[in-house]
Structure 1
């Protein structure tokens, strides 16, 4: 009797996958660096271009474009393969950077940010499909751990580099500099896919795609109105209400049948990741403000707390990538760690509590999202039929983006309405994380592939 021993999966940096893996990480790092750096440069950009009244719109435009591009890129990747949308996404991302970098007015700058969001959205969703097609399933956790690691360095040095460039050169180089190095990174990725069959699709064109793009556009506008309106206090209330109404109508058309009630299996994926990431982001928006205004930390010291969270994210992804914890443990335990981190950092509001607790708290929250986030991605690919990976990943991406926008908007509105009560804002984020922990077992249930059916009505 002969016993066959299954060989362990190859390393993501083995000779077979090295060039592809490096190209993937390089693109992720550049997208992450731009996302982290732009927040540092934006005050100077708005002042220089005389466009403080469009400050929030510069962020909302990118978000709105990403929602549209996520829907388009997901289905495009399924039908034509991931390489086409990645190529178009890179061109769009670079074009947006160039428009923003050379913008003579704030209006042109916002337009550049919109184009940049379209490109970035196409890149990100298509990279997930590329992982599904290019790597065996056993390697997916390790690849997504690499994705998470790709965000760590930009999180640590992005704001500092952007600040140095703004102070010693010109804010335009924050955008033009990234544009110069995106193309070589994309070419490296292209070299890693040479000779593969990744350019072919495995699905038929979706007859309802045009309708879904319309709903994606409405959802994007709704998300932008919610984000912009929530930052304008009472003056933004009409915009906020219009955004909520549009979102209630449009979002169900983009999610999955049963998603909004967290039906067991794949339909609960967008809700789970949206709640978890929304809770983390909503709390993270308040943390620097709380540490500076209440505990009188310097901006650099307050920023280090967030850096520790980014390191925790990478560590959590690395632990999950090693296969030492199961899927349900990563999902439910990750959500509970986020809740614990938010709860602990709330205690820092008390002067007698050591500042060191803030670092510990956000390291725990980072560990939690680091374990949860890539696990959702792995299971979505695992549960999807061949040719549906892009559409399914897009649905999760839309859910994550929209839930996060709403979570941040509600937290900000509560914070303002209660006279800047940090406790209320943190409490709301804490509840969201607990709800995510409740949803986690529903998603982790074993279900047949292909149950992530799209709503076509």
Structure 2
């Protein structure tokens, strides 16, 4: 590898490490945060706000990077991420934290999209497989370092510092990126698709807020308004000189890939949020132990990324992706069998198995999407794939949060205990009365069981979609 390209890869790895550590630490720390800020019922919003703004900004960053170059657009995104992280660190309430996470998400929309786009730009298809696998090692490193770092900060200083720690990584990433990435951007006057951007943003906001509202009528109205906005968006994009989302990037293969990514992302957010919650609030382990216990899942994800990316040209997407989804189904099934007395080692093994499924459901398909379009559409194509993943996570985490809260209340109602809600589950007034910690754990385990059942259903649908790949797709990929 040329020294220039090596410097670029290092810069991208640092950028990815920034986001990867954040994900590892926040999911580990969230049980502590919601207890400290007394906002258990808002737990899904800590992730939804982040994912919502990330979803809106993802295609915008993708298009801007096509027009104005990857380096500066990615640097701006990282800077916004840093600002949002600092605001998260000084938050004094759940609502402040949620708003700050929204700002953080605006920056995160650039990191995953443009990072992988740059890899597709400067490396051949064969090299991209190896480089993207290398960048994926960042997740393994972050999964090992994040829990140690996060646990130390939470238990010895405060949870606020899990956000402040992003500052040095962000600065290093921007410096390395500006120094090493040299790109030639065609200097011409571009016409920004403002109308399309606004319509698309309002459509996504309306849909996600409607899905998060919890009210049936509000959800129906939100869906109806979203459909109208998307129809208007379609006609605007057809006439735009430089549309934010060129519709010619959508093919049968890319549509299947995006649909699977959407569903698999729902399973991923369920594992990342609710497995640590189970280990801390049901089994009673601390943030450090629960975080470290999630590391094997990232390691197996890394291993399968290398193996399955090489297996697709030989066996085809249908077999490889189908196998990955089957692994996700099996892992979700065994997660649903966990109880308040299950050993921690069992959770670790189940997570390790699940990681093999994620490697085939995510990393390998990114390459397929990128190779289906030319350079000037690659940013948009990668952004759309990142967008559907974010949408999958946003919608799933809201659904899972609703399921968890509903079954916690149902558990206590079945016992004839009234007045217990997720918002006051850990309040001192409740704890000092007849409610025992055992009952709290049992109620949480009841809700988590239903969450894992929902994840099984999602994984089954994803498996069914994997059989829609063309048999000839293997031959096409071999030529790449």
The aligned counterpart of 2:208 is: 223
Query: Is 1:343 the counterpart of 2:369 in the alignment?
Result: no
The aligned counterpart of 2:441 is: none
Structure with the larger helix share: 2
TM superposition shift of 1:387: 0.8
Query: Is 1:113 the counterpart of 2:139 in the alignment?
Result: no
Query: Is 1:214 the counterpart of 2:203 in the alignment?
Result: no
Change (3 A) 1:213 1:267: farther
Change (3 A) 1:380 1:206: farther
Deviations 1:3-35 (A, max 9, x none): xxxxxxx5xxx6352211111111101111122
SS in 2 for 1:383: coil
Q: Which has the higher contact order (CA 8 A, sep 6+)?
A: 2
Query: Is 1:398 the counterpart of 2:398 in the alignment?
Result: no
Deviations 1:204-238 (A, max 9, x none): 957755324432243135325534x45xxxxx667
The aligned counterpart of 1:126 is: 114
Query: Is 1:330 the counterpart of 2:356 in the alignment?
Result: no
The aligned counterpart of 2:431 is: none
Are the aligned partners of 1:93 and 1:118 in contact in 2 as well (CA < 8 Å)? Answer: yes
RMSD (Å) for aligned C-alpha atoms: 3.7
The aligned counterpart of 2:285 is: 298
The aligned counterpart of 2:466 is: 440
2:177 aligned to which of 165, 168, 189: 189
TM superposition shift of 1:317: 1.1
Are the aligned partners of 2:52 and 2:394 in contact in 1 as well (CA < 8 Å)? Answer: no
Are the aligned partners of 1:311 and 1:363 in contact in 2 as well (CA < 8 Å)? Answer: yes
Give the Cα–Cα distance (whole angstroms) in 1 for the partners of residues 11 and 139 of structure 2.
Answer: 14
SS in 2 for 1:220: helix
SS in 2 for 1:149: helix
Give the Cα–Cα distance (whole angstroms) in 2 for the partners of residues 291 and 177 of structure 1.
Answer: 24
Are the aligned partners of 2:296 and 2:352 in contact in 1 as well (CA < 8 Å)? Answer: yes
Change (3 A) 1:97 1:179: same
Are the aligned partners of 2:43 and 2:401 in contact in 1 as well (CA < 8 Å)? Answer: no
TM superposition shift of 1:67: 1.2
TM superposition shift of 1:183: 1.2
Give the Cα–Cα distance (whole angstroms) in 1 for the partners of residues 344 and 82 of structure 2.
Answer: 41
TM superposition shift of 1:191: 2.5
The aligned counterpart of 1:361 is: 350
SS in 1 for 2:376: coil
Give the Cα–Cα distance (whole angstroms) in 2 for the partners of residues 306 and 277 of structure 1.
Answer: 17
Structure 2 spans left out of the alignment, 5+ residues? 235-244, 411-445, 474-480
Query: Is 1:408 the counterpart of 2:397 in the alignment?
Result: yes
Query: Is 1:89 the counterpart of 2:77 in the alignment?
Result: yes
Per the normalisation by structure 1, the TM-score is 0.78
Change (3 A) 1:264 1:446: farther
Query: Is 1:385 the counterpart of 2:370 in the alignment?
Result: no
The aligned counterpart of 1:38 is: 26
TM superposition shift of 1:301: 5.2
Deviations 1:75-119 (A, max 9, x none): 111222211211211221222223333457765554433222111
Structure 1 spans left out of the alignment, 5+ residues? 1-9, 231-235, 448-457
Change (3 A) 1:192 1:165: same
SS in 2 for 1:17: helix
Change (3 A) 1:345 1:172: closer
